[in-house]
Amino acid sequence: MTEQDYLLAWAAYALAALGCLLVWLKLTGWMWRWLREPLRVLVMVLLASPTVVDAERGLLAPSIAITAMDLLLKTGNNAWRAAADLSVYTLLALAAYLVFALLRWPIERSVQRRRTQAAARAEDPRTLRELLAEEDDQARFERREPRI
């Protein structure tokens, strides 16, 4: 296999993987968000993780393809290496997603709280003058202690 064939094979695989990923994004679009996103990360890792096939020439191949071919055709001994690479890449990607989700969660809660408060304010039929008068009436009846 020449260098051009190798690059052409990777380009064809990248195009096919992108198509598979787009189909997977469409298939998981109806799911609950906290289930959909980890599944999408998992498929991205499965499609995009490479493993070393020939160490001296530095040739890589998709881990899922190496694992499938070695298990189905019972050829070679790269299945364990490819499975190990897949598991490491999966753990790293899911850990990165978990950190991202944990950072995003409080931000989304505060945005949702602001939207709820804005909607409640928008539904209030009183005018600003009435709101200020009400606050003034409440402040008049509060007991204020003198400062020493």
Domain positions in the chain: 3-141
Residue 139 reports pLDDT greater than 70: no
The confidence score (pLDDT) of residue 110 equals: 94
Residue 52 reports pLDDT greater than 70: yes
CA distance 23 to 113: 35
The confidence score (pLDDT) of residue 85 equals: 94
Angle, helix 79-123 to helix 33-48, in steps of 10 degrees: 150
The confidence score (pLDDT) of residue 18 equals: 97
The confidence score (pLDDT) of residue 142 equals: 63
User: Own/partner pairs for 87-93, CB < 8 Å, 24+ apart?
Assistant: 89/45, 89/49, 89/63, 90/42, 90/45, 90/46, 90/49, 93/41, 93/42, 93/44, 93/45
Q: Residue 8 has which token pair?
A: 């052409």
Q: Which of 16-20, 86-90, 144-148 has the lowest mean pLDDT?
A: 144-148
User: What mean pLDDT, rounded, does the chain reach?
Assistant: 88
The confidence score (pLDDT) of residue 75 equals: 80
As a whole number, mean pLDDT of residues 68-72 equals 89
Residue 7 reports pLDDT greater than 90: yes
Query: Residue 127 — pLDDT band, cuts 50, 70, 90?
Result: confident
78 CB-near residues (< 8 Å, 6+ apart): 51, 53, 66, 70
CA distance 1 to 140: 89
